[in-house]
Amino acid sequence: MALSESLFSRDLKEAYKVFIDLCFAPYQGHGKDEGFRTDISKYKDIHTIWDANWDKLFIPSSIDQSSNPDGSEIEKHYNSFVNQFSFELGLGLGVKK
């Protein structure tokens, strides 16, 4: 989104930021990737082979209280972003908020 940011409205940029910040914890330190804001245990449970290096990609709720957001909240903000994006592209799929 950063590369094409100037092509879109403030509404779209804000919807994108809210959605992305809900899913990822940015700025984990110099040279570190963003962290997933989700419960790592559900991913460990479904994968029979788990690489311990993946643990550092998840942000524990003990460090970030906004980790593990509610699924309905994620869906709400995802839909808000996609609807706004669709509206701005003129696809007629979204409804301007």
Q: Taking the domains of the chain in order of start, what are their residue ranges?
A: 5-89
CA distances from 67 to 11, 43, 58, 96, 97 (A): 25, 15, 9, 29, 27
**pLDDT at res. 10:** 94
Listed in sequence order, the DSSP H helices in 7-70 are 10-23, 40-46
Query: Could you tell me the pTM of the whole model?
Result: 0.76
- Per residue in 8-60, pLDDT (tens digit) is 999 999 999 999 999 988 777 788 788 888 888 888 888 889 999 999 888 87
